[in-house]
Structure 1
Amino acid sequence: MITMSMVDGDQMLLDGLTAWLSATPDVRLLSTARTVPELLGSGVERADVVILDLLLADRSDPIANVRTLVAAGHRVLVVSVVPSATMAMQVVRAGASGYLTKDHNLAALVSAVREVASGEIARSPEATSGRSSDRGVDRPLLSPQERAVLLAYASGMTLAAAARSTGVQPGTAKNYLERVKEKYRRAGRPAYTKIDLATRAREDGLLR
């Protein structure tokens, strides 16, 4: 019997998975949670596999979530709506045992759980075939103004200095940065802090 827990805010997915598993004799869902701390603090026995949504409602960092669960002794299968080869690589490097996009059906999800439980790495075909390695999939399209403010700010300038260097008001520069953060979030590569933005800019070859 393979046991699993799920950290995801998608109630439809949770309900569908629960119904599916009722007819799956070798896999059992132990618990569900909306955040990693909620799961770890639940007191439920440790499952063989934890299914972790990439982007949770608490806006927690996906890589930190993976590392926290792995450090607690869990095998982690990350699921996401984002077919990102870059993110798949990053979560696996952080210790996850798999990355699966949510356009797959529940049978594929359960199959991936079995792979992870057996000690293998499970990935979506999009992530392994290289089709999504085209940076257009997971590299957000930034406007010239957004890119200019991002580069100035991520290079170490304050918000005010970045605004001056790009010829805009601080409030406008802040709006540009919020747009940049949202675009990265939608691409499955969240950037909440200045350090995050600098990391994303370096990953995309915008900063050395």
Structure 2
Amino acid sequence: MTENAANTDDNRSGAGPRRIGIVEDHESVVIGLETMLADESDLAIAASAATVPELLAQGVALDLVILDLRLSDGSSPKSNVEQLRDAGLETLVFTGAENPYLVRLAAKAGVLGVLRKSEPNATVIAAIAAAARGEQVVTTEWAAAIDGDPGLLDVGLSPRQRDVLALYASGEKAARVASLTGLAPHTVNDYLARIRAKYAEAGRPARTKTELYKRAVEDGWLPVPQHPDHG
């Protein structure tokens, strides 16, 4: 059991408030959550940071982490949730983004729920309280992203295929990918053909390099690009 998990168990057995951590790179959102929970005696914001590694480095005992899907470090929601889970921490996604791909990535890693920033304060508070108790927070958009998006079927890439995909889709030429991975150029081309075939079989075409890039982002092998509607 990790230190965070152990501390969380200790806190839950006591009478103190549930301790909430926030991973959010917009200060106004953090302030808004602090204000929203100020009068909730059973909930307390105990830590906040702009990235998951920064939050974990603080070593604060937490019962729940509220996570934004889009962060300025370009990290994948799936990777962020997995890091938090490895530290023994459950996650509630709190986001203004309406990208079902990002929700799917987080859900695949195992979050307690996804909550929009546009929800009424009472709804947000109730959701945070439920998640802090370890309960699932089921919302329509979360269910739709998980159950209603067959276009994101897992294609079952091997670790080496994922490495090749990430390098090639990020802009490297096949010869450079071969150099970086230690593979022969013809092997890289063979891997790329197999990757495209697997995506095609899953109903997710990846004929062009741009399409391969999109698939790599959707599946969390490359960071999510920044967008004007960040958050």
The normalised TM-score by structure 2 is 0.56
Cα distance change of structure 1 residues 179 and 12 upon mapping to structure 2, 3 Å threshold: farther
**Which residue of the other structure, out of 51, 62, 86, is the alignment partner of 2:66?**
51
Q: Is the 8 A contact 2:18 2:63 kept in 1?
A: yes
Cα distance change of structure 1 residues 22 and 84 upon mapping to structure 2, 3 Å threshold: same
Hey, what's the Cα distance between the residues in 2 that align with 1:178 and 1:87? 18
Deviation at 1:129, TM superposition (A): 5.1
**Which residue of the other structure, out of 104, 112, 119, is the alignment partner of 1:104?**
119
What are the ranges of 5 or more consecutive residues in structure 2 without an aligned counterpart?
Answer: 1-16, 153-164, 177-184, 190-207, 225-231
Q: Is the 8 A contact 2:23 2:55 kept in 1?
A: yes
The normalised TM-score by structure 1 is 0.62
Matches within 5 A, 1:101-180: 101-128=116-143, 133=148, 158=174
Instruction: Name the % identity.
Output: 29
Q: How many residues align?
A: 163
Deviation at 1:125, TM superposition (A): 2.2
Q: 1:192 maps to which residue?
A: 222
SS of equivalent to 2:122:
helix
Q: What one-letter code is carried by the residue in structure 2 that aligns with 1:13? A: V
Q: Is the 8 A contact 2:21 2:65 kept in 1?
A: yes
Q: What one-letter code is carried by the residue in structure 2 that aligns with 1:121? A: Q
Hey, what's the Cα distance between the residues in 1 that align with 2:87 and 2:93? 16
Cα distance change of structure 1 residues 94 and 157 upon mapping to structure 2, 3 Å threshold: same
Q: Is the 8 A contact 2:78 2:108 kept in 1?
A: no
What are the ranges of 5 or more consecutive residues in structure 1 without an aligned counterpart?
Answer: 139-149, 163-175, 197-208
Hey, what's the Cα distance between the residues in 2 that align with 1:102 and 1:177? 34
Q: What one-letter code is carried by the residue in structure 2 that aligns with 1:34? A: A
Deviation at 1:90, TM superposition (A): 3.3
Deviation at 1:113, TM superposition (A): 1.4
Q: 1:146 maps to which residue?
A: none
Q: Is the 8 A contact 1:83 1:127 kept in 2?
A: no
Hey, what's the Cα distance between the residues in 2 that align with 1:63 and 1:21? 27
Q: Which has the higher contact order (CA 8 A, sep 6+)?
A: 2
Hey, what's the Cα distance between the residues in 1 that align with 2:69 and 2:108? 14
Deviation at 1:62, TM superposition (A): 1.4
Q: Is the 8 A contact 1:79 1:100 kept in 2?
A: yes
Establish whether residue 3 from structure 1 lines up as the match of residue 19 from structure 2: yes
Hey, what's the Cα distance between the residues in 1 that align with 2:34 and 2:122? 12
Deviation at 1:48, TM superposition (A): 0.8
Q: Is the 8 A contact 2:64 2:91 kept in 1?
A: yes
**Which residue of the other structure, out of 51, 55, 58, is the alignment partner of 1:39?**
55
**Cα RMSD (Å) of the superposition?**
3.8
Q: Is the 8 A contact 1:181 1:191 kept in 2?
A: no
Hey, what's the Cα distance between the residues in 1 that align with 2:212 and 2:138? 28
Moved over 4 A (4+): 159-162, 176-182, 188-191
Q: Is the 8 A contact 1:84 1:127 kept in 2?
A: no
Cα distance change of structure 1 residues 35 and 129 upon mapping to structure 2, 3 Å threshold: closer
Post-superposition CA distance 1:11-53 (Å, at most 9, x none): 1111111112212222110011011111111122x21110011
Hey, what's the Cα distance between the residues in 1 that align with 2:210 and 2:30? 31
